[in-house]
Amino acid sequence: MAWRMGENLGDGRCSAPAAERNRGPILDVLKRVLPPQGLVLEIGSGTGQHAVHFAKFLPRLVWQPSDLDPEYRRSVSAWTRHEGMANVREPVALDVRQRPWPIARADAIVCINVVHVSPWAATLALIDGARTVLSERGVLFLYGPYRRAGHATAPSNEKFDAELRAHDPQWGLREVEDIAEAAARAGFALCEVVEMPANNLSLVFRTTQEQVVSG
């Protein structure tokens, strides 16, 4: 079940205020950590605001959006048409728990505000799928609210966690340490933990075993 759709703009596009607020800080990190060119698979693209914004400022990358929700996929397509983005592909339906994925290879995977609104099994499937799909030296980028060392990063996140679990007991903020451990079993190294606005974090994993940075 979707958490929030955002405002319908009447032309097929949906607009989420949070996507407008966080797209700039996220882009600053992506400019630094994504490969200079190649295919980026976005898992859980939502409204599509992120996809068109990132593709606009990273023109040498091809963006492949995906979402299970057909209304979100329609919104992604509408945003792509509205912005005239040639380097954004049509969105695909992708359930990380079902194999094979519709995209066989990618140079990077970006997943924004998904891990906490899905079961833990979906996070494990995401990591395992990324291991299969990513090219050598591929990047797995996860963004959202998390817990660290058993605690939420802010009181507001603690409240948000309770709201999520009340909505669905399988949802909730995940522990950075648990994600890093699962990723390590799949051959990923947690290379960066970047503190972001609104008490969120960016987690940057790479397929090469680089030194872990606590952030």
Average confidence (pLDDT) over 97-119: 97
| DSSP H or E segment with residue 147 | strand 146-148
pLDDT at 93: 98
CA distance 36 to 69: 30
Average confidence (pLDDT) over 133-138: 91
Instruction: Return the structure tokens found at 49.
Output: 């605001």
Q: pLDDT tier at 4 (50, 70, 90 boundaries)?
A: low
Task: Supply the mean pLDDT for the chain.
Answer: 92
Asked if residue 150 has pLDDT above 90, the reply is no
| Percent over 70 (pLDDT), the chain | 93
Asked if residue 213 has pLDDT above 70, the reply is no
pLDDT tens for 46-67 read 999 999 999 999 999 999 999 9
- DSSP secondary structure letter of residue 88: B
pLDDT at 9: 76
pLDDT at 136: 85
Domains and CATH numbers, the chain: 7-206 (3.40.50.150)
Asked if residue 209 has pLDDT above 70, the reply is no
Chain-centre distance of CA 76, in angstroms?
Answer: 15
Asked if residue 40 has pLDDT above 50, the reply is yes
CA distance 104 to 39: 11
pLDDT at 211: 40
Please check whether residue 38 is in contact with residue 108, taking contact to mean a CB–CB distance below 8 angstroms. yes
Residue with tokens 């699962």: 182
Asked if residue 114 has pLDDT above 60, the reply is yes
CA distance 207 to 108: 10
